[in-house]
Amino acid sequence: MIHTGRCECRGVSYRVDGPMRHVSNCHCGPCRRITGHFMAAAAARTDDVTFDSEVTLRWYPRTDEIEYGFCGTCGSTLFWRTSERPETLSIAAGTLDPPTGLETTDAIFVGEASDYHVVDATIPSTELDRDLPMDWAR
């Protein structure tokens, strides 16, 4: 299946020609602040992602290992990547054009979800150890 997606203003549009990982919800503090709620992200092999337009794509280097991709014009959160897994690009699920055929399969860092949010108990959750390599972009 070919997936397509974009930011709100169309300054960034992309295509995924290959399999995608189902959606994981990340409730960690940095993802909450970057997205305004939590990061619902699918993932694909970096080599399977091509850009039809990336003129407004900007990268915010949160640490030496982790960065978030966003549109510099409309502010849409688009991507997440880590130098620990350069072969994988996490993709904000809400930027994908439906139908995606994807499902939300798990949630991580649910202990960091904000107090206003009720975490969906039907989604399996895992608390990751911040001292171990992040593997949710599997």
Side chain identity at 122, as an amino acid letter? T
> What pLDDT score does 133 carry?
45
In 3D, which of 88, 63, 90 has the Cα closest to residue 77? 90
Q: Do β-strands 104-108 and 125-126 pair in parallel, antiparallel, or remain unpaired?
A: parallel
* Spans in the chain with pLDDT lower than 50: 131-138
Domains of the chain listed by start with CATH number: 2-114 (2.170.150.70)
pLDDT for the residue 52: 97
Give the model's pLDDT for residue 129.
56
- Cα dist from 26 to 45, 90, 105, 115, whole Å: 19, 11, 11, 15
